[in-house]
Structure 1
Amino acid sequence: MALIQSQNTPDEPFLPSLDETEKSSRKKLGCFFVSLSKWVLKVTMWAVFIAWIALFFLIPSDYGTDLYDDLVTATSGNPFGETGVALLLYGGPLFIIAFLAVPYLIISDEEQVHEHKAPRFRLWTFPVLVDGPFGVVSAAELIGILLFVVFVLWAVSAYTVTNFEMLPTYGDLTLNQKRVQMLQMSAYCFGLTALSCLAFLFLPITRGSILLRLVNIPFEHATKYHIWLGNLTMFLLTLHGLGYMTVWIIRGILLSSIVEWKSDGGANFAGVICYGFGLVIWISALGPVRRRYFEIFYYTHHLYIFFVIFLALHVGDTYFSKAAGGIFLFLLDRFLRLWQSRRTVKITSATSFPCGSVKLVFSKPKNLRYNALSFIFLKVGEVSRLQWHPFSVSSSPLDGKYHISILLKCVGDWTSKLRGKLSNCSVNQSELDLHANLTASIEGPYGHESPYYLKYSKLILVAGGSGISPFLAILSDILNRIKYEKPCFTRNVLLVWAVRNSSEVSLLSTVDMESICPSYSDKLTIEIEIYATRESEPLLEEGKAETGVLRCSGSVGWIQGGQGGAMSLLCGTGSKVWCGVYVIISSIGFVVIWGLLEKYYMDPFGVSYWWYRGILFLGSMVAAVVMVGGGVVALWHIWEGKLVEAAEEDGERLDNETVMGGSQGSVGVGSGIKIRYGRRPDFGEIFEGNGISDGSDIGVIVCGPSTLQSSVARECRSRNLRRSCSSQPVFHFHSHSFCF
């Protein structure tokens, strides 16, 4: 005992290791409960999702129809009626998953890169189809496409069998009458199948959806799912409409049936109007029309408002409730975007480059969260009061707490007009003027929930033209993470950039590697290969260059000014807690409003007209979004205001930081850049030289036109299929391009 006492002073605890052991045990116990909670939530969400998908396959069968009828009969006394049953079955699983996603995202570590695992083979990053109408399709996406095709074929065949069994119940019919009756019932079944597709149609375009954040699929990537579903839905609706039209023509009641507005069934005229709006949207969204006449596509797409209204009038509340879950989540997202876009955002600086591109820097609060692969939607009132255009973020969140930047390339009317507002001189000059009092509005940032690119030890970044923008952000993010010793497993980066003219290389000046991280070369290898496809040899103002290495020294003009405040925090990557409260409270409010309407208005007054109940149901959704959701957003806005006020107190630091964020003429990436003139990238050669690694896999990210994506995806697929042993790397394909 004397020995023990002699080893501990009065200020030291007896057996000091107990505290450390207890802290370590508590930490392990906490991690265990967090992991257990995440596992339980994930399993529950998967179970609900699988049950939801199984429901769509089950309902068209005789067993599913009988089960649905039994459920309606068993719950006949509920205050919501049959509409409540349909909403519970079709929309309930979506709401449950959205509710469970909130705590799952909250307890999940926002920076997951420290959980480094070898990516190896993954369905989402393995390209299967690289050409054709669907573009580049991964293995996971192909499975989804096949599931929808199988569902449509199964539903149509199951409904057809049921229709044949029901045919004798219509009495003694002649052969022609049976054919006409079968055609009518088939047209009805095409409409039911289209409603099932409508349940998914609006989910991919909810830009800040809690569901997209859950599966880590950014809006710009999910847009193509909306395109696929839109084509399938309109195809089924066309069969639905043509079937009924043919029946009416055969029976000689075409005109009277078209204008018929039933009260105890579907309102035909409302359906015709609904399909008319859908047809205009469909035609304007076709690839050739969309790419050549983008403004027509953009404006006609807003007709979805009338499409949804007349759909509710046509099918009534019960059938509309089958697609109501996705539509309601879209309305929530649209309302939140409306709030965010009302704020005028300050353009703190603008930079002009010799190639004619412009870098814009916007003020943002330090609490706004995004990653290097995020994007924003920008509207400038002086250019167009209605148009919003997407731009990839060109800055890293670690570049500064108070600013975010984008790169604009003048390739269309909108961007050319914007540069014209900023500049009073020629394209190659660098004098910009922000005294034009431009009013910018911003939606976003949107994007991936986690920076997946940091999990790859080796990256191959392939850009086409202005597609360099997100890769500049990635380079800056990796350098900053190395500098500040944040989690980052990337140690080798190859940037392949295809440009028309070598003047575009001046854009690399936005990333000054030596300034960001002076000792980066000890931990990171960066190679840059640029292909000037429209130039056969290097040209300078005074003659030809002597080598194939271009050193950027082009003049870059920088100005500061503008008006407005910081960006809003009400965005797709905003607070998980507020976003979750907004979805949960609004959804509960919708159910309560509809229940009160049923109990105190429709039941006492015997409201039974389909079209009237349908518009009341849609009105309940809108009322829940505006009144209940608006209340939550108002509180969120107040909370945001307090954060912004705190940031504005540090205004001098904001301006100084923004100045530092803009490059003013120095060469950014490295002292020399390899330029290859008059040729396009040979990805077979490029991948061959980068196919040998230390056993870890290679992440390939492409940002550029569809032809470039297809070429890279084809090479990734070829390399992966030719793997002879497990020690060879897998090339994981990622795209970062808009489908508009």
Structure 2
Amino acid sequence: MEEKPVASVSSSNGKIRVLRTSILGLVIIIFVGYIFMLIMKPSSTYISHFEPKIRAHTNSSFFGAQGTTILMDTFPMLVISVLGSLYLHLGIKYKDGAESREIKSKSILSSWKRPVIMKWLGIVSWTEISILVMFIALLVWTFSAYMHYFFQHMAFFIESENEKRWKSTLSIIGFTLGIIGNICLLFLFFPVTRTSSVLPLLGLTSEASIKYHIWLGHMTMFLFTAHGLFYIVYWALTDRLVSKMLEWRKIGASNVAGEISLLFGLGLWVTTFPRIRRKMFELFFYTHYLYIFFIIFFVFHLGFNYFCYMLPGFYLFMIDRLLRFLQSRQCAQLVSARILPCNTVELNFAKTKGLNYTATSIMFINVPSISKLQWHPYTISSSSNLEPEVLSVIIKSEGSWTQKLYEKLASPFPVEHLSVSVEGPYGPASTHFLRHDKLVMVTGGSGIAPCISIIRELIFMNSTMKSKTPSILLISAFKNSSELTMLNLLLPSSNASYGVSNLELQVEAYVTRELEPQIEKSTPLRTIWFKANTSDAPISTNLGKFSWLWLGLITSLSFIIFLLTMGLLTRFYIYPIDHNSFMVFSYSLQALLNMLLLCISLLVTATGAFLWNKKQQIEELKGLSPKLHNSVAVNPIEQELESLPQQCLSKTTKLHYGRRPDLRGILVEQEGSSVGVLVCGPKSMRHDVANICSSGSADNLHFESISFSW
């Protein structure tokens, strides 16, 4: 193959860099304008002067009042999402053209990224605290500004001449709390949208953003509950409790729909508290699906026009959820499983070479023979570069679901074929491990899995790309000696000694509940090979090689189809009835029709794009030789796996019995201008490491938690 001239590659990369910078600048401008609008909306100036003018220019026979809301509230975030998809696609091309170089630099804002230990919020940085404070300030400002405006127009809230002013105040407070809750709901779905360009633009993943979803969820339900209680008290004091609670108005807000929505939300909210979620995870998991009914009746409560205000996050979430559903319909090709004596299994799936993912990515797994509804996230331990045809995950038996899986695989007569559905993989758009001089990884038990993926990726970069990689110190704490077999998974199942000699790797393993090595013979690793099934397929990307471009296309095209169909519906069915008077046509019927159009446009567009890309992938697989396509499944490993990693790593591994690692002493003594500290393990371990990194004992420590616990 003829190589491109260096000057040509450099010029191409320069153009891509300029284009990405321009797109990022445009995204920032749109987002700042969007936030500015959120701040301005509650002000008297906006409500009295700007809003009437905007509505006058955007109110048409095709969209009615919805046109204004879509233009001002829905459109900006969707444009950001589409631009973000293009930005990330160009980032992949730039990475392919250049050599994925990372500059070691000390950011002047690095101190803002240091963790702050908060008892209720968990491990958060000063940046996160600042954003949280600003968000709360936005809520307080919005509440106070609306209260001020509504008190100036209290006559609108007084429903009878004899009603006392203080009673109307309850109605005003309840109404305003509902508006504040809608702001929280506006951002609620962004953190849990796994296939979205919004989070990668901020350098986040959905797994790392779960805590933001939890914060927003608690605030949303608290405000909506208070909103409902204030209205109930107000109706009771004005002797209209029963009539108002049973009111489903044709025009305006429907009280019954709001009450039903709130009840579904409360049922969901109760099970999210840690004590219930950890002890009864299945209850938490199943009740979380109540969000569907919560949203549906929320739309019936306020009408589709108002729902457009918080539509962007939910719209992107619906696209993601549909793509995940389509992927999960195809069973993944499970090639083998390695059984460890510590109640742990490594599942090895076949994957297409076109599927690339970054280290620390995760994948959701469902085993229908155990539970058709339960999906569990697991960190991918393989490297897409080092193992181009295999994708591996490590599962430790720690609950009823994992115990059943382990028993099914570890029995004397294991199954010959296991149907497994997957969603993902999902992970960061890029990693930044090369910017550090040294990496210190602190793990507990099965928390070693994400570190395995990092080590394998660094082995590839060190050996193949000839990149200078940081030295690695792996500190692993295990309860007993049997768990030490997890260290056997540090190297891939094939080419186990590949490149490890060039990697500066030191392993410090601590066995905390045993004072000395156990003399009894340990159970060796056992590998199970599964029979191939024609209905199974290698794991591949949902949207092919150009997944970010396809995601942007789905987002934009589906919304355009929705706007066209909604415009036709409004112009030829709704407008002839109400002529934009908003006091004739049923809010509930209009909401139902628009929700149907929204779902149909998403279903057609996302399904079409998914099936088109799957067809292309199947044709590419057919073009490969059978030997290449089936090499993973039919060629068993020729060497005993359990001995190779020990031979390669024996010189760099030290075992310690009967004590825990002195994390403070180890971390403070680390040399180098930049030391990346990654921790994945129990909550107490994560907090201890975060405390050390934030204490100021060593300025060269940079904390990164890679815990995926909910």
Same fold (TM over 0.5): yes
Q: How many angstroms apart in 2 are the aligned matches of 1:171 and 1:258? A: 18
Task: State the match for 2:363 in structure 1.
Answer: 376
Deviations 1:134-170 (A, max 9, x none): 1000122112211221111111111111122112566
For residues 145 and 660 of structure 1, do their structure 2 counterparts lie closer, same or farther at Cα, with a shift above 3 Å needed?
A: farther
Q: 1:108-257 residue pairs with structure 2 within 5 A?
A: 108=91, 109-110=94-95, 113-120=100-107, 122=109, 126-167=113-154, 177-257=164-244
Contact 1:371 1:396 in 2 (8 A): yes
Where in structure 1 are there 5+ consecutive unaligned residues?
Answer: 1-19, 426-431, 543-552
- In the alignment, the residues of structure 2 paired with residue 735 and residue 286 of structure 1 have an alpha-carbon distance, to the nearest angstrom, of 22
CA contact (8 A) 1:480 1:516 kept: no
The Cα shift of 1:702 comes to 1.3
Tell me whether 1:92 sits opposite 2:75 in the alignment.
Answer: yes
Q: Which residue of 2 aligns with 1:348?
A: 335
The letter for the 2-side match of 1:39 is T
Q: Is 1:558–2:527 an aligned residue pair? A: yes
Partner of 1:52: 34
Q: State which drifts further: 610-619 or 638-647.
A: 638-647
Contact 2:355 2:384 in 1 (8 A): no
Matched, 1:336 2:306: no
In the TM superposition, what is the alpha-carbon distance from 1:98 to its structure 2 partner? 1.1
CA distance in 2, matches of 1:216, 1:645: 37
Separation in 2, partners of 1:570, 1:640: 10
Tell which deviates more after alignment, 578-587 or 171-180: 171-180
Q: Say which SS state the counterpart of residue 241 (structure 1) adopts.
A: helix
How far does residue 58 in structure 1 lie from its aligned partner after superposition? 1.1
In 2, distance between residues paired with 1:528 and 1:329?
42
Contact 1:379 1:441 in 2 (8 A): yes
Distance 1:120 1:502, change over 3 A: farther
CA shift in 2, pair 1:557/1:612, >3 Å: same
**Change in 2 beyond 3 A, CA 1:657/1:376:** farther
Cα drift, residue 277 of structure 1: 0.4
**How big is the shift at 1:738?**
2.1
1:273 matched residue in structure 2? 260
Assess, with a 3 A threshold, how the Cα gap between structure 1 residues 591 and 173 changes in structure 2: closer, same or farther: closer
* Bigger-Rg structure (1/2): 1
SS in 1 for 2:153: helix
Contact 1:113/1:452 (8 A) holds in 2: no
**Secondary structure class of the residue paired with 2:60:** coil
- Distance in 1 of aligned mates of 2:512 and 2:162: 67
1:12 corresponds in structure 2 to none
CA contact (8 A) 2:544 2:617 kept: no
In the TM superposition, residue 485 of structure 1 has moved relative to its aligned partner by: 2.1
Q: Which residue of 2 aligns with 1:676?
A: 656
Output aligned runs, 1:373-412, within 5 Å.
373-412=360-399
Q: Is the 8 A contact 2:441 2:677 kept in 1?
A: yes
SS in 2 for 1:598: helix
Q: Which amino acid aligns with 1:284?
A: T
1:424 aligns with 2:411: yes
Of 457-466 and 561-570, deviating more is 561-570
Name the amino acid aligned to 1:106. Answer: H
Matched residue SS, 2:282: helix
**What CA deviation, in whole Å up to 9, does each residue of 1:483-534 have, x standing for no partner?**
11254x432101111111121111111234995556644x532111122222
Match of 1:535 in 2: 514
Contact map agreement 1:395 1:405 (CA 8 A) in 2? yes
Pick from 539, 549, 563: which aligns with 1:591? 563
| Corresponding residue for residue 33 of structure 1 | 15
SS at 2:383's partner residue?
coil
8 A Cα contact 2:361 2:426, kept in partner: yes
Q: For residue 445 of structure 2, what is the amino acid of its counterpart?
A: G
Instruction: Report if the CA contact (8 A) 2:690-2:703 is conserved.
Output: yes
Spell out, residue by residue over 1:552-607, the C-alpha distance to the aligned partner (whole angstroms, 9 max, x if none). Answer: x7511112114322114217997222222222222222222222221222213446
Structure 1 partner of 2:442: 462
**For the structure 1 residues 312 and 495, does the alpha-carbon distance in structure 2 shift closer, same or farther, using more than 3 Å as the test?**
same
What is aligned with 1:653?
631
Q: Which runs of 5+ in 2 are unaligned?
A: 579-583
Which string of whole-angstrom CA distances, capped at 9 and with x for unpartnered residues, describes residues 587-644 of structure 1?
2222222222212222134462222222222222211111233222222222222233
Q: Does 1:434 align with 2:411?
A: no
Q: Distance in 1 between matches of 2:16 and 2:543?
A: 27
TM superposition shift of 1:196:
1.6
1:481 aligns with 2:479: no
Q: What is the deviation of 1:321?
A: 0.6
Could you tell which deviates more after superposition, 69-78 or 338-347? 69-78
SS at match of 1:539: coil
Which residue in the other structure is 1:666 paired with? 644
2-side partners of 1:212 and 1:573: how far apart?
Answer: 20
Distance 1:467 1:144 in 2: 29
Cα distance change, pair 313–659 in 1 and its aligned pair in 2 (3 A) = farther
Q: 1: CA distance between counterparts of 2:434 and 2:112?
A: 15
Q: How many residues are matched?
A: 691
Deviations 1:66-93 (A, max 9, x none): 3223211222236212112112211111
SS at match of 2:265: helix
- Counterpart in 1 of 2:581? none
The correspondence of residues 293-332 of structure 1 with structure 2, limited to 5 A, is: 293-332=280-319
Contact 1:208 1:573 in 2 (8 A): no
Alignment check: 8 A CA contact 1:368 1:574 kept:
no
Q: Residue 734 of structure 1 corresponds to which residue in structure 2?
A: 704
Could you tell me which residue of structure 1 aligns to residue 596 of structure 2? 619
Verify: 1:632 aligned to 2:632, yes or no: no
1:125, 1:138 within 8 Å by CA — same for their partners in 2? yes
SS of 2:207's partner is helix
- Checking the alignment, whether the CA contact within 8 Å between 2:69 and 2:308 is kept in structure 1 is yes
Residue type at the aligned position of 1:312: V
Root-mean-square deviation over aligned CA pairs: 2.6
> What's the secondary structure of 2:343's corresponding residue?
coil
Say if 1:120 and 1:175 are closer, same or farther in 2 by CA, change over 3 A.
Answer: farther
CA distance in 2, matches of 1:505, 1:172: 72
Deviation at 1:336, TM superposition (A): 0.4
C-alpha distance after superposition, 1:390-438 (max 9, x if no partner) = 010011112322110111111100011111221324xxxxxx7231x32
Summarize deviations over 1:692-738 as a string: whole Å, max 9, x none. Answer: 21x3x11111111222111111111113xx56xxxx52x22212222
Aligned amino acid, residue 215 of structure 1: L
What letter matches 2:589 in structure 1? Y
1:65–1:34 distance in 2 versus 1, CA, 3 Å: same
Q: Which of the residues 412, 416, 426 maps onto 1:446?
A: 426
Over 3 Å counting, the alpha-carbon distance change for 1:278 and 1:168 in structure 2 is closer
Moved more, 151-160 or 332-341: 151-160
1: CA distance, partners of 2:600 / 2:666: 56
CA displacement 1:375-401 (0-9 Å, x = unmatched): 100001111011000010011112322
Q: Which residue of 2 aligns with 1:4?
A: none
Paired AA for residue 282 in structure 1: W
Over 3 Å counting, the alpha-carbon distance change for 1:444 and 1:699 in structure 2 is: same
- Does structure 1 retain, via aligned residues, the 8 Å contact 2:543–2:613? no
- 1:376 aligns to what SS in structure 2? strand
| Cα deviation code 1:86-125 (max 9, x no counterpart) | 1221111111111111221122224674142314454597
**Residue 228 to residue 519, structure 1, CA distance change in 2 (3 Å):** closer
Q: Does 1:601 align with 2:564?
A: no
